[in-house]
Each structure stands twice: as C-alpha cells, then as structure tokens.
Amino acid sequence: MVELMCWEAIRRAHDEEMTNDPLVICMGEDIGVAGGTYKATNGLYDKYGPERVIDTPISENGYTGLGIGASFLGVRPIIEIMSVNFAWLAMDQLFNSAAKVRYMSGGQLTAPVVVRSAGGAAHQLGAQHSARMEKVFMGIAGLRVVTPSNPRQAYGMLKSAVRCNDPVFINEHELMYNMKGEVPDEEYFHPLEGSEVVREGRDVTLFGYNISVHWCVQAAATLSKQFGIEAEVVDLFALSPLDRAGIVASVRKTHRVVIAEEAEPVVGVGAEVMAIINEECFFELDAAPVRVSAVNAPVAYNHTLEKAAIPNAGDVVAAVRKMFGK
C-alpha cells in the first residue's frame, strides 16, 4: 500500500491506462500544458504528447461530443470537465448521444467515454461554481455514474471506467483532491456497481457517497462514543445503477436509515434510496427514514450562508439523535 492524494491516484490511473492502450487519450480545459486545474493530468502532456493529452477550447458540448465520436471508432477518451456546473453545457452530447447511441442503434454502436468532473461546494465559489449535479446524471438511462470517496476508489474506478464499454460519469469533489488515502501498489480495478460497508453497525444505517461518506464516518464515531449508538456506514459509490441489494441488506440489519447528501433533497440520491427502501423492505423499518441534505437554494458567496446551506457531520449526528430521542 502506498499513501496518495486523490489527484495523485487519478493521475496514476491515467498514466497506467495510457501506457496500457495507445488509444486511451485525455482531453479537457487546461489539462495538458498547464497540467490540469486539480493536477489530475500533471506531466502527462510531456510524456504522451499533444495528440493524446489534448488541451481543448472552452467548448464543453463540442469537445465532449468530439470525445464521444472518437469513442465510436475505438478510442477511449477520458474527458475532464473542470466543474460540473460547466457539464450542463455538455449535457446534450452526454444525454442525447453517449447515453442513447447503444439503444437507438440496436446495440451496433457504443460510446465508451469517461467523463470526470468536479462537483460540490468548496470555499465561497458562488452559485455557478458550487453545484452538486449527480442527481441529474443518475437519472439518465444508458449512463453509468460513480463517485469516489477516497483515493483508492478514485484510482480504481477510473481504471475500470476506461475499460468498460459503457459511458461512465465520474463525479469527483473539489474539496477532495488533496485528501490522502491508501492505494494498492499493484494495479487495482474498482467495481462500477455495488456499495461498500465502511463501518459495521447494528442500530442505524448511514448512507453516504463521495464527501458525505466522511460525515457519516465522523458521525458514527461521535454516536458510538457519546450516545452508545452503533451506526453502520454504507458508501454508495455507484449512483447509477444504485445497489438495491446492498441497500436492502443493511436496512434488514439495522432497521433505521439516515441518508446524507451534499445536494439539495429534491429528486436526489436520498429520495431515490428512500424509494428503493419503500419498494423493497418497507416493513423492515422501525423508524421513518431521514434525509440530511442541503438547503434548496443556490449556494451563496457569503461564507456563513454557504456553511448554513451545506450539511455536515454534526447534522448527521443530530438527525440520528432525533430518531432515537437522545
């Protein structure tokens, strides 16, 4: 095991996959000569050259469509969209071309592109740089959506996504690129479906994904230490398709559920998890499931307002305490 930061893990996955297959390319704004806003492609331009490490114009729909077209003929593009807020501009090509082409061609054509993009509220970036968009992507049939919560996943997911024959959207987080964690020394391919039990527990399940997994882990420690509540933490690293079996298995064990999401609650991950629980194991519940979500408003520039809009570990603790009357 080696300890890497998330950006280093993502960079290593790029490097290995580009060495492994000459048709793997990466493209995006400032990813080449400048090395990438989050350094995820740092040094690759010098190693692989401008034909394979492509600095694109600021034309999100155009270069995403270009990557999709290249993937039709066997190229495996890793497209970095600097911020999920800008991914809206590429939504036409992602939604109408990448996600639909296999179906509408009756299986003749597929678009094996990887789109990586950074979401989440960081520090006072304002309404147009703080969106959490995973809920939008996970509503698109034909597109896989994964979201890493640590460097090991960030590394292994990108490697699997490059080789997978489906289009894959990897939802990263602005605040997590410098997060450290252990990554296997040898090559590692993380699954693109499923979930991970991060902490075993018997009293309540805390579902999280990406950054909210960390709130859940923190909250579980506080709940155990201060309130004697043993929470199970489940990392929903795959948002589409969601791990129905994994969700049900944990609910059958704990009978209580809190879902933590950084996004607004409306048509979100929490809503979808609740729907699955209702459909699959409603009578296993001892309490009504609860969501810990953002306030349904654009994110403010003002630091106090921004903090108040986005949930944290304390909010997860509060939700569980309320559920248990403690």
Partner 1 sequence: MNLADKKRLLREMLFARRFEERCYEAYVERKIGGFLHLYSGEEACAHGVLEAAKKGQDYVITSYRDHVHAIKCGADPKKVMAELYAKETGSSKGRGGSMHIFDVEHHFMGGYALVGGPFPLAAGMAKAIKMKGDDDIVICFLGDAANNQGTFHESLNMAKLWDLPVLYVCENNLYGIGTRIDRSTAVIDQYKRVSGYNIPSTQEDGQDVEKVFKAAKQAVDHVRSGKGPYFLELMTYRYRGHSMSDSNAYRSKDEERMWSNRDPIIMLRDRLIEAGELTRADYKAMDTEVLDEIEDEVIAFAESSPEPRVDELQKYTLAENDPWVFGGGR
Catalytic residues, by residue number, are: 60, 129
By CB under 8 A, is residue 97 in contact with partner 1?
yes
> Which residues inside 144-203 make contact with partner 1, applying CB under 8 A?
144, 156, 160-161, 163-166, 189-194
By CB under 8 A, is residue 65 in contact with partner 1?
yes
- CB of 264 vs partner 1, minimal distance in Å: 27
By CB under 8 A, is residue 67 in contact with partner 1?
yes
By CB under 8 A, is residue 68 in contact with partner 1?
yes
Select the residue interacting with partner 1 from 6, 53, 78, 101 (CB under 8 A): 101
Select the residue interacting with partner 1 from 21, 91, 96, 321 (CB under 8 A): 96
Select the residue interacting with partner 1 from 39, 43, 66, 285 (CB under 8 A): 66
Residue 149 near residue 7 (C-beta atoms within 8 A): no
Q: Cβ–Cβ contacts within 10 Å for residue 264, how many?
A: 19
- CB of 94 vs partner 1, minimal distance in Å: 12
- Distance from C-alpha of 131 to C-alpha of 296, rounded to nearest angstrom: 11
> Which residues inside 227-256 make contact with partner 1, applying CB under 8 A?
none
- CB of 67 vs partner 1, minimal distance in Å: 6
By CB under 8 A, is residue 325 in contact with partner 1?
no
Select the residue interacting with partner 1 from 14, 102, 135, 214 (CB under 8 A): 102
By CB under 8 A, is residue 105 in contact with partner 1?
yes
Secondary structure of the chain in HEC code, one letter for each residue: CEEEEHHHHHHHHHHHHHHHCCCEEEEECCCCCCCCCCCCCCCHHHHHCCCCEEECCCCHHHHHHHHHHHHHCCCEEEEEECCHHHHHHHHHHHHHHHCCHHHHCCCCCCCCCEEEEEECCCCCCCHHHCCCCHHHHCCCCCCEEECCCCHHHHHHHHHHHHHCCCCEEEEEEHHHCCCEEEECCCCCCCCCCCCEEEECCCCEEEEECCHHHHHHHHHHHHHHHHHCCCEEEEECCEEECCCHHHHHHHHHHHCCEEEECCCCCCCCHHHHHHHHHHHHHHHHCCCCCEEECCCCCCCCCCHHHHHHHCCCHHHHHHHHHHHHCC
Residue 111 near residue 165 (C-beta atoms within 8 A): no
Point out which span in 13-21, 72-80, 129-137, 274-282 binds partner 1 (CB under 8 A).
72-80
Select the residue interacting with partner 1 from 2, 33, 141, 305 (CB under 8 A): 141
By CB under 8 A, is residue 108 in contact with partner 1?
yes
Total residues binding partner 1 (CB under 8 A): 52
Binding mask 34-63 for partner 1 (x = CB under 8 A): -----------------xx---xx-x-xxx
By CB under 8 A, is residue 280 in contact with partner 1?
no
* Footprint of partner 1 (CB under 8 A): 23, 25, 51-52, 56-57, 59, 61-75, 92-93, 96-97, 101-110, 141-142, 144, 156, 160-161, 163-166, 189-194
